[in-house]
Amino acid sequence: MPVRKNQGRRKANGSGRAADDLFRIFEDMIARGDLAEGAPLPPEREIVETYRVSRTVAREAVQALANKGLVDARPRFRPVVRKPGFESAIDAVGTVVRHLLNDRQGVRNLFETRIMIEAALVRQAAVEAGKEDIRALRDALAANGEAVEDSALFYRTDMDFHAVLYRIPQNPVLPALHRAYTSWLSPHWSKMPRLPDRNRLNHAAHSAIYDAILMRDPDGAEAALRAHLDDAWAQVCKTFEQD
């Protein structure tokens, strides 16, 4: 949907930085639905002429929209509006979080929140998981076991097993959180030893979590999950010692 020149127009060089003003204009349009999901932003030349700003200001405003997850901006393509949602909200803080992960304490703080969330998830799964949920966990566990000799594939199936736990409550915030944790922590996870013996230990830990959920044992599921992630943290600590 093209933006009409008189729609939401105000001069974008008032108080504050011009790029911030222009960002807020487009942010408001997206929030109101004047720029719908999947719609391209106006061409840069049109933005410059309509809002009487420089190309530099227009580009800074578009970059700010992209940083907030409100548009997809790719080289040589017009930016396209994204539907504001949980993923875009979480993506927007990704840059800040990555700065916090430059030392062990920053990683530990983030990892502790993951433990708290997954401990709650396995408890809920042990009580509420349905047949389809159990089947999804079982299939993810089987794929994880088959990948023991292939460390790259094992890592992906490891993430897939945990991802099922985040989907069981059918809360859209949780899968977005899992993808964020995976993205934020993967630089450290990828440095962990990925040998078949270590993979077998991790698969055994996943099996213990699955068995407790299958037996409807929330205490056992949480204990198995915490033991698994405590061991994972011990491995992460070794990556700091090697850096």
Per-residue tokens: 57:
């200001």
> What angle do the packed helices 218-242 and 104-128 form, to 10 degrees?
160
10 secondary structure, DSSP code: -
Q: Give 138-191 pLDDT, tens digit per residue.
A: 999 999 999 999 988 998 999 999 999 999 999 988 988 888 888 777 766 666
The mean pLDDT of the chain is 84
Name the band, by pLDDT with cuts 50, 70 and 90, for residue 233: confident
pTM: 0.64
Name the band, by pLDDT with cuts 50, 70 and 90, for residue 8: very low
**DSSP readout, 33-61?**
TSS-TTPBPPPHHHHHHHHT--HHHHHHH
Name the band, by pLDDT with cuts 50, 70 and 90, for residue 241: low
Range among 15-24, 101-110, 208-217 rated most confident: 208-217
Phi, psi of 40, deg, nearest 5: -80, 150
Of residues 67 and 221, the one with the higher pLDDT is 221
Distance CA 234, CA 188 (A): 12
* pLDDT attached to residue 139: 97
Of residues 182 and 95, the one with the higher pLDDT is 182
* pLDDT attached to residue 74: 83
What domains lie within the chain, and their CATH numbers?
18-83 (1.10.10.10), 92-242 (1.20.120.530)
